[in-house]
């Protein structure tokens, strides 16, 4: 396959963040799109000389489309992915893969039956510092990995949200949207199947009625363990621990503390919906797209403890604290965000290389997310793989 004719389903924030990498890859041709907003569809068609499809069904039925990027609300992922695979299309689906293990199983089975590539991402498991740390751990240079510490404190719950983004059962809150990132990072570095999870979740604001925080202890089959902490309640900002670099790799001004809460304080539901739409493709606000980030994307503070060194990840590289010396492995700034995701997808679709973040990977990450919730409900330790039936 010399060219992958790709159509996108959903022209929202996820598409906007991934668009530069899609445009830049020499083997991808943006060939079509479907979105509920006709103005976004028409702008896409004009900008990329592509087809604006009037329905999802028409898009996947088109013989002029080889692959589909699904960037719709979480609860739509499963049905749309299965339909696209059954129509003979390769699929890149945004995380979380779906909102239930049963749906993930359907998606994985559909990919196997169709013989088509299914890749789940982008997630921060693709980030260059994470991949470098995973390679260092896998090399055995510093002995076995023993413990991973991961924490992230953000304003996630106070960013503009659609109603379903505040309903856990529909994929809202931080478990599906944010734990999926953190679990992907830790799984990639640990390099071993997850054995157990013990967790507590927090739902502390009745005006934002979904799980907004969690703390968890995770063990692996290789005897490593990890602690995961996340809060989206807009108090402490853990970007302080990574030189005030934002999740997307841009310098951050600590003086803007509390901005998300202030903007939301007097907003009506209609105002919040409008603010959410302003960040999507086709909105007036995206007329001037930002320049590429000077640093790599990240997901908070990550410290990997091996037998003979600790590895601290940052948006600039990986710091190694060894037995006798400390050194820093700088990683050149990214030319484009999320290029690794698109490379993995193109290689998978063309049969050049088996993907890491395939349907099985996404399924097991979802099982870990479900284990977080089940551990909170049942007040006990959960084996995530036991939830896959």
| pLDDT band (50, 70, 90) for residue 70 | very high
Instruction: Find how far residue 227's CA is from the centre of its chain.
Output: 19
Query: pLDDT at residue 287 above 70?
Result: no
Q: Which two tokens stand for residue 22?
A: 């899609």
pTM of the model: 0.96
Q: Is residue 362 part of a domain?
A: no
Q: Are both 152 and 201 inside the same structural domain?
A: yes
Q: Is residue 210 part of a domain?
A: yes
pLDDT digits (tens, 9 = 90+) for 339-377: 999 999 999 999 999 999 999 999 999 999 999 999 999
Instruction: Find how far residue 174's CA is from the centre of its chain.
Output: 12
Across the strands, what pairs with 207?
Answer: none
Number of domains in the chain: 2
Q: Are both 305 and 195 inside the same structural domain?
A: yes
Q: Are both 58 and 140 inside the same structural domain?
A: no
Q: Are both 198 and 310 inside the same structural domain?
A: yes
Q: Are both 100 and 164 inside the same structural domain?
A: no
How far is the C-alpha of 375 from the C-alpha of 216, rounded, in Å?
9
**Cis previous bond, 277, omega within 30:** no
Q: Are both 88 and 137 inside the same structural domain?
A: no
Q: Report in angstroms the alpha-carbon separations of 150 from 142, 153, 311.
A: 19, 11, 12
| CB-CB contact of 196 with 380 (8 Å) | no
Residues 6+ apart with CB under 8 A from 290: 250
Q: Are both 112 and 80 inside the same structural domain?
A: yes
pLDDT digits (tens, 9 = 90+) for 218-248: 999 999 999 999 999 999 999 999 999 999 9
Q: Are both 147 and 254 inside the same structural domain?
A: yes
How far is the C-alpha of 290 from the C-alpha of 375, rounded, in Å?
41
Please tell me the predicted confidence (pLDDT) of residue 288: 59
Mean residue pLDDT of the chain comes to 95
Please tell me the predicted confidence (pLDDT) of residue 266: 87
Please tell me the predicted confidence (pLDDT) of residue 164: 86
CATH number of the domain that 80 lies in? 3.40.50.720
Per-residue H/E/C for 260-325: HHHHHHCCCHHHHHHHHHCCCCCCHHHCCCCCCCCCCCCCCEEEEEECCEEEEEECCEEEEEECCC
Query: pLDDT at residue 8 above 80?
Result: yes
Buried-state track 138-176, b at ≥16 Cβ within 10 A, e below 16 = eeeebeebeebbbbbbbbbbbbbbbebbbebebbbbbbb
| pLDDT band (50, 70, 90) for residue 57 | very high
Please tell me the predicted confidence (pLDDT) of residue 50: 98
How far is the C-alpha of 356 from the C-alpha of 347, rounded, in Å?
11
Q: Are both 258 and 331 inside the same structural domain?
A: yes
pLDDT digits (tens, 9 = 90+) for 184-216: 999 999 999 999 999 999 999 999 999 999 999
Q: Report in angstroms the alpha-carbon separations of 369 from 173, 376, 385, 387.
A: 12, 11, 11, 11
Q: Are both 167 and 230 inside the same structural domain?
A: yes
Domain of residue 201, residue span: 125-335+370-387
CATH number of the domain that 203 lies in? 3.30.360.10
Q: Is residue 237 part of a domain?
A: yes
Q: Are both 178 and 250 inside the same structural domain?
A: yes
Q: Tokens 């492995």 map to which residue?
A: 329
Query: pLDDT at residue 286 above 60?
Result: no
How many other C-beta atoms lie within 10 A of the C-beta of residue 84? 29
Q: Is residue 365 part of a domain?
A: no
- Which among 149, 131, 168 has a CA at the least distance from the CA of 297? 131
Query: pLDDT at residue 301 above 70?
Result: yes
Q: Is residue 58 part of a domain?
A: yes
Crossing angle between the packed helical segments 77-86 and 101-114, to the nearest 10 degrees? 10
Q: Is residue 81 part of a domain?
A: yes
């Amino acid at each position: 396959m010399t060219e992958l004719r790709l159509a996108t389903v959903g022209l929202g924030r996820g598409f906007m963040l991934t668009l530069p990498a899609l445009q830049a890859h020499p083997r991808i041709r943006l060939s079509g799109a479907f979105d509920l907003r006709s103005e976004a569809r028409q702008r896409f068609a004009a900008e990329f000389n592509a087809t604006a499809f009037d329905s999802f069904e028409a898009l996947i039925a088109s013989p002029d489309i080889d692959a589909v990027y699904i960037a719709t609300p979480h609860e739509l992922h499963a049905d749309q992915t299965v339909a696209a695979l059954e129509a003979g299309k390769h699929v890149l689906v945004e995380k979380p893969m779906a909102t239930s293990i049963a749906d993930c199983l359907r998606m994985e089975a559909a990919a196997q039956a169709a013989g088509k590539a299914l890749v789940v991402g982008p997630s921060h498991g693709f980030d260059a510092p994470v991949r470098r740390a995973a390679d260092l751990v896998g090399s055995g240079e510093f002995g076995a990995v023993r413990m991973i510490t991961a924490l992230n404190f953000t304003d996630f719950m106070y960013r503009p949200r659609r109603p379903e983004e505040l309903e856990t059962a529909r994929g809202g809150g931080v478990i599906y949207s944010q734990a999926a990132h953190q679990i992907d990072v830790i799984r990639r570095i640990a390099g071993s199947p997850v054995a157990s999870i013990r967790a507590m979740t927090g739902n502390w604001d009745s005006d934002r009625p979904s799980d907004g925080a969690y703390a968890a202890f995770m063990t692996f089959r290789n005897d490593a363990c990890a602690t995961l902490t996340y809060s989206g309640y807009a108090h402490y900002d853990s970007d302080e621990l990574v030189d005030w670099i934002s999740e997307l790799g841009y310098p951050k001004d600590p003086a803007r503390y509390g901005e998300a809460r202030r903007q939301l304080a007097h907003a009506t539901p209609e105002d919040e919906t409008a603010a959410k739409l302003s960040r999507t493709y086709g909105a007036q606000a995206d007329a001037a797209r930002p320049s590429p980030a000077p640093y790599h994307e990240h997901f908070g503070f990550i410290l990997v403890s091996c037998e003979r060194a600790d590895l601290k990840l940052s948006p600039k590289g990986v710091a190694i604290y060894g037995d006798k010396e400390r050194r820093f492995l700088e990683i050149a700034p990214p030319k484009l965000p999320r290029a690794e995701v698109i490379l993995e997808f193109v290689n998978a679709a063309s049969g050049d290389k088996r993907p890491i973040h395939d349907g099985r990977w996404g399924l097991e990450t979802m099982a870990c997310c479900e284990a977080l919730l089940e551990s909170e409900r049942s007040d006990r330790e959960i084996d995530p793989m036991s939830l896959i039936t």
